[in-house]
Structure 1
Amino acid sequence: MEYLTLNTGIKIPIIGSGTNTFGKENRDYMGEINHDTKELLVAIALGYRHFDTAIAYRNEAVVGQAIKQSGIAREEFFITSKIPGKAEYTNSAHAVEQAVQESLWALGTKDSIDLYLIHHPWENLEEMLAVWRVLESFVDNGVLKAIGVSNFTEKELGFLVEHARIQPAVNQIESHPGKWNQALIDYTKQQGIVPEAWGPLTRVSEEAKSILTTIGEKYGKTWAQVILRYQIEQGVIVIPKSHQPERQAQNLEIFDFALTKEERAKIGQL
């Protein structure tokens, strides 16, 4: 595994696993929680130590349960969760504090969470800043090791950068072929914030898969592995998700090759 260092000084695995359909009936995002940890335990056995969940996913407790069942020390894991950008969680300092406490209780991760994000922005920038200031207080007391945002545009991120006492550590954004969001990635990095790609293997066209497959054949890699390699070579954390052990394993097998400048340029045009 390779790591990036956040602006807090802590290290984060450059590959994590998405979890938004884990522990749910029929692997459906809206499915009932069934507390099935088998697929998470397979991922842990394969070497995943970075897991990304959220209050909105309703499965923080499933992720926490899998970590306990693994028998591996909590300190070996990097856990991200998120507070929804909805009034019931953000309309007062008490609401924000309650959300954080509920995440801690659900995850059961020894009174701390490695990274906590505002899941979605909303129109009122001052309200978002007020939420951020409550999250800063949890950083002050060591409950949240780092804080960041998700789906923030340059405008929203810039406002936070200008007014925050503690700078965001991560901006988690949609990034995949057809929507790399390169300008936002570049801006995020310029601010000393690490970009993180959710859904890096989603919505890939057949044309793009063909081009990526051709590139991958040179290295004995799949089109999906080429995408992930392209992202991490830019210093972007990737959060792929798969319920299939073979694909889970393949997503980790991207540290034994490097793309050429010409290949990166071709991929960047997809």
Structure 2
Amino acid sequence: MEYITLNNEVKMPIVGTGTNTYGKVNKDYNGELKNEIPELESALELGYRSIDAAISYRNEALVGGILAESSVPREELFITTKVPAREEYVSSKESTRAAIDNSLKNFKTDYLDLLLIHAPIEDKEQLKNTWEVFEEYYEAGKLKAIGVSNFKKNHLDELNEFAKVKPAVNQIQINLTEKNKELLDVLKEEGITPVAWGPMKTEEHQDKVLDEIGKAYGKSGAQVLLKYQIGRGVVVIPKSHNRENQAANLDLFDFELTAADVEKIDNL
């Protein structure tokens, strides 16, 4: 595994696994929860250590139970979760504290590696209060890093007006159909690490080019795409319920794309 160093010197695995449909009937985001997550168990066995969760996914306790029962030491895990930008979680500092405390309980741990605001909070006072609670838990060592998700430049500018701790990451959609280049440039300038959700999304004509590039390395087009993203400093959190695909999504560190390869992908 390779790591990226966040702006507070915390090291984050550059590849992780999403969990938004894990442990759910029919692998459906809105499906009922089951009592097992074999897909997470296989991910851990294969070497995934960065686990991307969220309160909104409804399966924190299930994910947390698997992590706590696994043979992987806590210090090797990088656990991310997210507080929803909904009234019940951000209406007051007390409600935000309760949300964080409950997440810590769900993951059976005394600290989280990364906590994000899941979406922009439009009420500026609520945003300020929420971030101040994040900073409070960060200063107390209960959060190793704090950040945001789905924030655009105007949201980051608003946060910067009062934040004492700069967000370490912004988790946004980054793929070949939603390149988000302007926002990526802003994040680079600000020293905020981009984390890509939905990194595998492509169109058919793009798949053909990726597959062709992959042939030279004995890799799939999907592996080429993930390699392209991590090669430019983007953390990726692909998700699969299939063990073979999970393994392939980690098998990225024994080849390097050429400048010509990168240019082809840039132009897709």
Normalising by the residue count of structure 2, what TM-score does the alignment of the two structures yield?
0.97
Distance apart, 1:127 and its partner CA: 2.4
Map 1:1-270 → 2, pairs under 5 A: 1-109=1-109, 111-202=110-201, 204-270=202-268
C-alpha separation in 1, matches of 2:252 and 2:148? 26
Render the CA deviation track for 1:29-62: whole Å, top value 9, x for unaligned: 0011113121111100000000000000011112
Unaligned runs of 5+ in 1: none
Counterpart residue identity of residue 183, structure 1: E
Structure 2 residue matching 1:143: 3-state secondary structure: coil
C-alpha separation in 2, matches of 1:233 and 1:71? 31
Distance apart, 1:63 and its partner CA: 1.5
Structure 2 residue matching 1:248: 3-state secondary structure: helix
C-alpha separation in 2, matches of 1:178 and 1:72? 36
Contact between 1:18 and 1:53, CA under 8 Å: does it hold in 2? yes
C-alpha separation in 1, matches of 2:162 and 2:239? 34
Render the CA deviation track for 1:7-41: whole Å, top value 9, x for unaligned: 12111000000000001111110011113121111
C-alpha separation in 2, matches of 1:234 and 1:158? 24
Counterpart residue identity of residue 228, structure 2: Y
C-alpha separation in 2, matches of 1:75 and 1:86? 31
Contact between 1:37 and 1:65, CA under 8 Å: does it hold in 2? no
Unaligned runs of 5+ in 2: none
Structure 1 residue matching 2:4: 3-state secondary structure: strand
Task: Point out the more displaced range, 92-101 or 34-43.
Answer: 34-43
Contact between 1:125 and 1:156, CA under 8 Å: does it hold in 2? no
Change (3 A) 1:262 1:126: farther
Contact between 2:23 and 2:34, CA under 8 Å: does it hold in 1? yes
C-alpha separation in 2, matches of 1:172 and 1:77? 19
Percent pairwise identity: 49
C-alpha separation in 1, matches of 2:127 and 2:46? 38
Contact between 2:19 and 2:53, CA under 8 Å: does it hold in 1? yes
Structure 2 residue matching 1:164: 3-state secondary structure: coil
Contact between 1:55 and 1:81, CA under 8 Å: does it hold in 2? yes
Counterpart residue identity of residue 35, structure 1: N
Distance apart, 1:122 and its partner CA: 3.1
C-alpha separation in 2, matches of 1:45 and 1:144? 26
Instruction: Provide the aligned C-alpha RMSD in A.
Output: 1.1
Contact between 2:184 and 2:194, CA under 8 Å: does it hold in 1? yes
Render the CA deviation track for 1:194-232: whole Å, top value 9, x for unaligned: 110001013x11111111101111111111101100100
C-alpha separation in 2, matches of 1:95 and 1:124? 15
Q: After the TM superposition, which parts of structure 1 deviate over 3 Å for at least 4 consecutive aligned residues?
A: none
Counterpart residue identity of residue 260, structure 1: T
Task: Point out the more displaced range, 33-42 or 82-91.
Answer: 33-42
Normalising by the residue count of structure 1, what TM-score does the alignment of the two structures yield?
0.97
Q: What is the number of equivalent residue pairs in this alignment?
A: 268
